[in-house]
Amino acid sequence: MKRREMLAGLGGITLGACTTTTPASPATTPSTYTPGRTYAPVDSSLDRVTRTVVGLRPYRPQGYRLEGERLGSKTVIHNYGHGGCGVTMSWGTSEAAAGMAGATGNEQIAVIGAGVMGLTTALLLARHGHDVTVYAAELPPNTTSNIAGVLWFPTGYFDDDAVSEDFLRRNRVLIRAARQGFLPYVNRPGYGVYWSDHHALSGREPGSYNTLPGGDDIYPELQRVHENTLFGYNYMERFKALIIDPDYYLDRIMKDAQLAGAKFIAARLDTLDDVLALPQTTIVNCTGLGARDLFGDESLTPIRGQLSHLLPQPEIDYSYVAPTSEGVLYMFPRRTGIVLGGTHEMGESRMEPDPAQVERMVRGHADLASRLSSQA
Ligand SMILES: Cc1cc2nc3c(=O)[nH]c(=O)nc-3n(C[C@H](O)[C@H](O)[C@H](O)COP(=O)(O)OP(=O)(O)OC[C@H]3O[C@@H](n4cnc5c(N)ncnc54)[C@H](O)[C@@H]3O)c2cc1C
């Protein structure tokens, strides 16, 4: 069993996050890739950058916290600490958290936080007929969840030196539930969820490969390729992946939660006493990195990430994650622009964009794009 998650650089932080090393199987090792399609180059230049954003991934080496805790007269269900894959895992862990909250038997439930976890949990609880009130210091568009890329890919949210076998077993089930949760939203007008031809590139030599997180069967059209790869890398995993535009998606699921009856109150809870003073006796904690101060979770560490958005290119319908000599770079296409990423700084909380990183990413993606013409 190989469980190590390589710290590398996606919206999460890994490339080809792995669970098991197995010999290549004929079903997923064709010798050509994406027959019949062409790749338009990303037009990556500084004068096409429309905005650069910074966010802090709420990382716990031992993985997200998903459990109940009795605090005074309250039951608190924790659902936070999803590192670089909170959007990806949102339907999985929120369904579990909502189930635990519902099982307390209380009709009135408080949710703290209105990022992707708080919104999804509130939506699920409201749909199950609970009287839900969300308390949040920040609402969309001002949450970390709004900053995210987003590629649906469960990676970058634990260190296998710190994670338990129990966590991994349960996590596999939740990954699959998380994916299932997004499927009804694909191409639904206004939600910003759609398929992309995704390419995970690496320098790996032939011989073995890692099963993708949650199982290969949840990655449609998966191909493992050592020849004719995008940008000429040694190895490529190509599959259909979901891209989620959080600016559209979070607005819509917040509206859905409101339509289902959830109420939203803009409020920062500064101390545990503030939490215990809430009128509801069942509380779901979806505060992301905020749980470090509010619940004293010292294991939470920020991982700083910076993304630059380029002007839209409707012809770009593929995405990639690529290791380069200057770090891992990734590109996700949105209707509103092209998202360039490739930074992760463990323990760093600076929120100002770093111009040197903007230049590095824009240049790095331009270099990759130039390889397309030499491949043609
Ligand atoms: C650059 C970058 C790229 C990323 N790319 C991806 C990706 O491709 N795929 C993916 O799945 N994930 C990605 N992520 C990770 C993802 O953004 C996070 O895992 C996710 O946003 C966590 O969601 P959350 O709801 O737990 O936290 P948040 O979105 O941070 O929401 C927390 C909520 O709690 C509230 N809160 C906090 N403290 C308090 C308090 N004391 N009182 C009241 N309210 C409080 C906040 O105001 C907010 O409403 C990326 C992150 C970054 C930074």
Per residue in 236-254, pLDDT (tens digit) is 999 999 999 999 999 999 9
For ligand 1, atom 28, the nearest C-alpha belongs to 115
Whether ligand 1 lies within 6 angstroms of the CB of 141 is answered as no
Q: Which phi and psi (to 5°) does residue 98 adopt? A: -65, -40
Which ligand 1 atom is at minimum distance from the Cα of 83? 19
Q: Which phi and psi (to 5°) does residue 337 adopt? A: 160, 175
Residue 80 Cα to ligand 1 middle (Å): 9
Residue 293 Cα to ligand 1 middle (Å): 15
Task: Indicate if the pLDDT at residue 58 is higher than 60.
Answer: yes
Cα 345 versus chain centre, distance: 16
The string of pLDDT tens digits covering residues 167-226 is 999 999 999 999 999 999 999 999 999 999 999 999 887 677 789 999 999 999 999 999
Task: Indicate if the pLDDT at residue 16 is higher than 90.
Answer: no
Residue 32 Cα to ligand 1 middle (Å): 38
Query: What Å distances lie between residue 344 and 7, 22, 85, 147, 366, CA to CA?
Result: 9, 29, 13, 14, 20
Give first-to-last CA distance, the chain, whole Å. Answer: 39
Distance CA 169, CA 278 (A): 34
- pLDDT reported for residue 122: 98
The string of pLDDT tens digits covering residues 255-269 is 999 999 999 999 999
pLDDT band at 21 (very low <50, low <70, confident <90, very high): very low
Whether ligand 1 lies within 6 angstroms of the CB of 137 is answered as yes
Q: Spell out the domain ranges in the chain.
A: 1-29+57-299
The string of pLDDT tens digits covering residues 333-367 is 999 999 999 999 999 999 999 999 999 999 999 99
Which fold, 1-29+57-299? FAD/NAD(P)-binding domain (3.50.50)
Query: Whole-model pTM?
Result: 0.92
Strand pairing of 65-71 and 235-244? unpaired
